[in-house]
Amino acid sequence: MHGIYNTNKQIEFYLGLKGSLGKRTFFSIYGSVANYKNMLFFGFDSSNSSQLPLYDNGKVTLTTMQLELNHHFGEKFRTGLTLTSYNYSMEKLLSPYSKPTFEAKWNNSLNLADKFLFRLDLFYMNERTAYNISNRKEVKLNAMVDANFAIDYRYNKHVSAFLNINNFANNQYQRWLNYNVYGFNVLGGMTFTF
């Protein structure tokens, strides 16, 4: 259904648990069930190469489960893993178009002498179903893996430099139908604060 509508979360039940598995390892587990009206999804219009909103105007029930694990190796090195699953029960649309049903994130940071900050982030999203509005066909989008590395150098509290190496595995994937992400790319610069 085309047009612009407000997505309305009608009700949500949430249950979570946080704790530790030792002095340096922390976890959180949560689950939620929410009912939505006019939930937003996306379809591709090949006539003008754009993403258009698709709404399920019936009741959509979204069940989310998430597990987070974080470990600190002292104050200098931290690592964290987040796993999230999404289950959609829909009335009008056939699939949760362009949205994943599973995501994983692995984030790492290393602080050396408060001068160098290194970050390594890995992201995974499972196969998604996209919808081509023009020919009314479903299209499978491949699962994606993205890896990013960053270095920050803090000369002092006012001057720093950074280097970001994004998608360093040069994975060619589509986050949205017919919207390819950048392959390997590098961004660097300096920051000044007064």
Distance, in Å, from the CA atom of 143 to the CA atom of 140, rounded to the nearest integer, reads 9
Asked, for residue 2, whether it belongs to a domain, the answer is no
Q: What is the pLDDT of residue 151?
A: 96
> Which residue has tokens 């998430």?
66
Is residue 3 included in any domain, yes or no? Answer: no
> What are the tens digits of pLDDT across the range 120-152?
999 999 999 999 988 889 999 999 999 999 999
| Residue 153, in any domain of the structure | yes
Where in the sequence is the domain holding 159, given as residue range(s)? 8-192
Nearby residues of 56 by Cβ (< 8 Å), 6 or more positions away: 36, 38, 39, 41, 90, 91, 92, 93
What is the DSSP code (8-state) at residue 90? -
User: Residue 142: in which H helix or E strand, if any?
Assistant: none
With contact defined as beta carbons under 8 Å apart, do 188 and 162 qualify? yes
With the CA atoms of 59, 87, 3 and 125 taken in that order, what torsion angle do they form, in degrees rounded to the nearest 10? Answer: 170
Work out the average pLDDT over 87-101. 94
Q: Is residue 58 part of a domain?
A: yes
Please check the confidence at residue 1 and state whether its pLDDT lies above 80.
Answer: no
- Does 172 fall in a domain? yes
Is 163 part of a structural domain of the chain? yes
Residue 114 lies in a domain: yes
Task: Give dist(CA 45, CA 28) in Å, integer.
Answer: 40
Specify the CATH number for the domain of residue 78. 2.40.170.20
User: Does the pLDDT at position 2 exceed 70?
Assistant: no
The string of pLDDT tens digits covering residues 18-32 is 999 989 999 999 999
Residue (of 34, 99, 91) closest to 65 by Cα position: 34
Domain count, the chain: 1
Q: What's the rounded Cα separation, in Å, for the pair 56 and 96? A: 9
pLDDT band for position 72 (cuts 50, 70, 90):
very high
- Map residue 171 onto helix, strand or coil: coil
Is residue 157 one of the residues assigned to a domain? yes
Give the CA distances from residue 157 to residues 101, 113, 160, in Å, rounded to whole numbers and listed in that order. Answer: 42, 14, 8
